[in-house]
Amino acid sequence: MARATHESSAISGGEERYRDRDARTVNFEAAQALAETVRTTLGPGGMDKLLVSDGRLTVTNDGASIIDRMEIDHPAAKAVAEIADTQENAAGDGTTTAVVLVGELLAQAEELFEQGLHATTITNGYRLAAERTLKALESMAVDIDPDNETHLHELAETAITGKWNANAAAFLAELAVEAALAVETGGDLELRRITRQTVPSGGTRDSELIDGLAIDLGNSSTSLVSPDIDLPRRVADATVALVDDHLTIDTVDGMGSLELESREQLERFREYEDGVYARQAERIVDAGADVVFCQGSIDEPVRYLLADQGVLPIERTRRDELIKLTRATGASHVAPVDALTIGDTGTASAVERRTVGDRELAVVRGSERTDQVSLLLRGSTEHIVEEMKRIIDDCLYVLQAAIEDRAIIPGGGAAEAELARDLRTYSEAVDEREQLAVGAFADALEVVPRTLAANAGLDPIDAIIELRNRHHEDGVTIGLDATTGDLTEMTSAGIVEPLSVKWRAIASAEEGANLLIRIDDVVAARHEESEDAHEHDHDDAPGGLHAADEGYPWALGHSMGH
Ligand code: ADP
Ligand code: MG
């Protein structure tokens, strides 16, 4: 058993060790504290948080961003943060829900422990309950037509209501839907085709969707060379070359550091240089390019030569942008420039230079392959545009989930209330010992409507009682409309969520809670105990507790049951 190993050597004098009840208390408390932190952000009534780190301020209402930026030391809280992270990466939404659910499942488990239930009974009960719940959730889902703009708009808006003022949220949801529909093909939404550029100037409503790939020439390292040369603002039907190289004289040749003593030598060096520059420009011109995006810098003589022959040179294009450009234009990125041929170029119906606020943009519009759009997000400050970006991302992930799965469920706590009702019926058929745990899982699910009500300033207990009654009578889809405070039919109120987001949130909450419930031993372990111990010197802090900033200073012992 793993625990025995830790016992034998991990403990040194004065170190903390928790077992059984204490271990659980410590873990549960840490996990619940994290849940408590994000709880108040759940749903439209949720409050914003101001995060301070290294002097940088972030104002956000997004549970995932909050957890992401928090300094978390305790291993149990870390485990919950990992659940949040997984949820965010896998579903793009539902993070707060998952974390709040874990917290509540642990709170319920605590009571079950007090009633004398064994950890295994609780985890088995939770597992049964989760299986039942996920099935019930699937059968509750309603199919949608992925081209139905109303549905998409409702989904996007539900994902972000309360994250911004209502008008701005509706506007951003609309923008996200437009972007999604512009690149959606046959039930497939590739988010990498949507580029978001933030421009901290102007008003939110100046934000726009651009057909094509927008490359920020001011913010990214990309820059348009030689403002002194008269370069075109717009090149129509452009042949585009992408050079993953720099158009400079290579000092590796040794020429750059050559001591030039005679006039003759200097003359010859100049000739050499001119030759290199001329060849570089020639390659690009010969490939038929009208616009060249270059990953490195472009020396001035090359710029002149290019501009002179009607080629628009753009230097220091980030590699990720070059990759996007390959998709947008069909060009391949080539290095060195000598290898460039006509076959490597791509096309764009237009390449335009645009000034937005204080930014210069290059907008590359597609030709036959219009498979890139860009969202230009504008707002008065950096904080605002960054939060707008998070909000847009929330919308886009939800839209992707809905477009790809075509299945939605009612929001506003309706799904959770219905699932709780179903579970309570189901629990009657469950083995006596586990019945309590299944019932507890049902109670835990209600944390969602309860929190939505509390965050909307309503009495959570009254709201839950009324919600339960309504679900007993008729309404599978009755939930709380937090903007009005009424219990109402969620689908007609347009408060809907993608099935997959909720599915994952519940599944990972169950896994996370069970993981922590199974732990009966928390040991501060020496770093040698960990598997990668051989990579480290014996530089542990006195007492054997390894410096906490480097991974896992704790060992989690799992009880194997009985
Ligand atoms: P998460 O990180 O879990 O996505 P959110 O803060 O985005 O957390 O809140 C999502 C919850 O808010 C969902 O349960 C959703 O149904 C609910 N919700 C969204 N809009 C409304 C609304 N108008 N009324 C009530 N609940 C809403
Ligand atoms: Mg959300």
Residue 96 a catalytic site member = yes
Q: Provide the edge-to-edge strand list for the sheet that holds 496-498.
A: 142-143, 407-410, 496-498
| Atom number, ligand 1, closest to the C-alpha of residue 501 | 4
Nearest to 330 by CA among 315, 343, 321: 343
Residue 96 Cα to ligand 2 midpoint, Å, equals 7
pLDDT band at 259 (very low <50, low <70, confident <90, very high): low
Residue 190 Cα to ligand 1 midpoint, Å, equals 24
Given 41, 58, 62, 216, the catalytic residue: 62
Name the most confidently modeled range: 227-231, 386-390, 412-416, 539-543.
412-416
Q: What pLDDT does 164 receive?
A: 76
Determine whether the shortest distance from the Cβ of 481 to ligand 1 is under 6 A: yes
Q: Looking at 82-219, which runs of residues are DSSP E strands?
A: 142-143, 194-199, 208-211, 213-216
The pairs formed by 420-424 with CB atoms below 8 angstroms and a separation of 24 or more are: 420/445, 420/446, 420/468, 421/468, 421/471, 421/472, 422/132, 422/133, 422/136, 423/129, 423/132, 423/133, 423/136
Residue 62 a catalytic site member = yes
Percentage of the residues of the chain whose pLDDT score is greater than 70? 82
| Atom number, ligand 1, closest to the C-alpha of residue 505 | 3
Q: Is the pLDDT of residue 201 over 70?
A: yes
Q: Which residues surround ligand 2, an ion (CB under 5 A)?
A: 93, 159
Nearest to 103 by CA among 410, 517, 522: 517
Amino acid in position 118: H
pLDDT (average), residues 132-139:
97
pLDDT band at 194 (very low <50, low <70, confident <90, very high): very high
Name the most confidently modeled range: 134-138, 338-342, 356-360, 393-397.
134-138
Nearest to 68 by CA among 43, 108, 95, 42: 95
Q: What pLDDT does 222 receive?
A: 56
- Residue 187 tokens read as 């039930």
pLDDT (average), residues 331-343:
92
Q: Is the pLDDT of residue 452 over 60?
A: yes
Q: What pLDDT does 282 receive?
A: 93
pLDDT band at 328 (very low <50, low <70, confident <90, very high): confident
| Atom number, ligand 1, closest to the C-alpha of residue 41 | 6
Q: Is the pLDDT of residue 526 over 70?
A: no
Q: What pLDDT does 224 receive?
A: 60
Nearest to 394 by CA among 185, 187, 168, 163: 163
Q: Is the pLDDT of residue 394 over 50?
A: yes
Q: Is the pLDDT of residue 5 over 50?
A: no
Residue 546 Cα to ligand 2 midpoint, Å, equals 37
pLDDT (average), residues 504-528:
83
Which positions ≥6 away from 191 have C-beta within 8 Å?
396, 397, 400
CA–CA separation, 293 and 79 (whole Å): 44
Residue 40 a catalytic site member = no
**Prediction pTM value:** 0.78
CA–CA separation, 194 and 180 (whole Å): 8
- Say which residue, 10 or 270, is predicted with more confidence: 270
CA torsion sign for 400, 405, 411, 415 is: negative
Peptide bond into 449 cis (omega under 30): no
Q: What pLDDT does 546 receive?
A: 29
Determine whether the shortest distance from the Cβ of 411 to ligand 1 is under 6 A: yes
Whole-Å CA distances, 178 to 164, 362, 400: 19, 21, 13
Q: Which of 37, 48, 89, 97 to mutate to test the pocket of ligand 1 (most atoms within 8 A of CB)?
A: 97
Determine whether the shortest distance from the Cβ of 44 to ligand 1 is under 6 A: yes
pLDDT (average), residues 55-72:
75
Residue 95 a catalytic site member = yes
For 455-481, the DSSP string reads HTTS-HHHHHHHHHHHHHHT-TTEEEE
In this structure, of 276-285, 293-302, 370-379, 509-518, the range with the lowest mean pLDDT score is 370-379
pLDDT (average), residues 60-72:
78
CA–CA separation, 269 and 211 (whole Å): 47
Q: Is the pLDDT of residue 4 over 90?
A: no
Given 40, 41, 60, 95, the catalytic residue: 95
pLDDT band at 268 (very low <50, low <70, confident <90, very high): confident
Q: Is the pLDDT of residue 495 over 80?
A: yes
| Atom number, ligand 1, closest to the C-alpha of residue 99 | 3
Ligand closest in space to the Cα of 67:
1
pLDDT band at 230 (very low <50, low <70, confident <90, very high): confident
CA–CA separation, 120 and 421 (whole Å): 24
Determine whether the shortest distance from the Cβ of 93 to ligand 1 is under 6 A: yes
CA torsion sign for 537, 540, 546, 547 is: negative
CB 284 within 8 A of CB 337: yes
CA–CA separation, 393 and 156 (whole Å): 10
Q: What is the mean pLDDT of the chain?
A: 83
CA–CA separation, 213 and 205 (whole Å): 20
Determine whether the shortest distance from the Cβ of 46 to ligand 1 is under 6 A: yes
Q: What pLDDT does 551 receive?
A: 29
pLDDT (average), residues 502-525:
88
In this structure, of 18-27, 218-227, 551-560, the range with the lowest mean pLDDT score is 551-560
**Buried b / exposed e across 312-340, counting CB within 10 Å, b at 16+?**
bbbbbbeeebbebbbbbbbbebbeebeeb
In this structure, of 21-30, 55-64, 511-520, 538-547, the range with the lowest mean pLDDT score is 538-547
Determine whether the shortest distance from the Cβ of 92 to ligand 1 is under 6 A: no
Whole-Å CA distances, 229 to 308, 310, 313, 425: 9, 11, 11, 77
Determine whether the shortest distance from the Cβ of 207 to ligand 1 is under 6 A: no
Nearest to 156 by CA among 126, 177, 182: 177
Q: Which of 96, 397, 399 to mutate to test the pocket of ligand 1 (most atoms within 8 A of CB)?
A: 96
Q: Is the pLDDT of residue 470 over 70?
A: yes
CB 151 within 8 A of CB 144: yes
- Say which residue, 357 or 364, is predicted with more confidence: 364
CA–CA separation, 475 and 486 (whole Å): 14
Q: What pLDDT does 14 receive?
A: 39
- Count of alpha carbons within 13 Å of 557, Cβ hemisphere only? 22
Residue 449 Cα to ligand 1 midpoint, Å, equals 9
Residue 499 Cα to ligand 2 midpoint, Å, equals 13
Residue 131 Cα to ligand 2 midpoint, Å, equals 23
Q: What pLDDT does 125 receive?
A: 97
Q: What pLDDT does 534 receive?
A: 40
For 421-431, write each residue's pLDDT tens digit.
Answer: 999 999 999 99
Q: Is the pLDDT of residue 521 over 70?
A: no
CA–CA separation, 226 and 220 (whole Å): 17
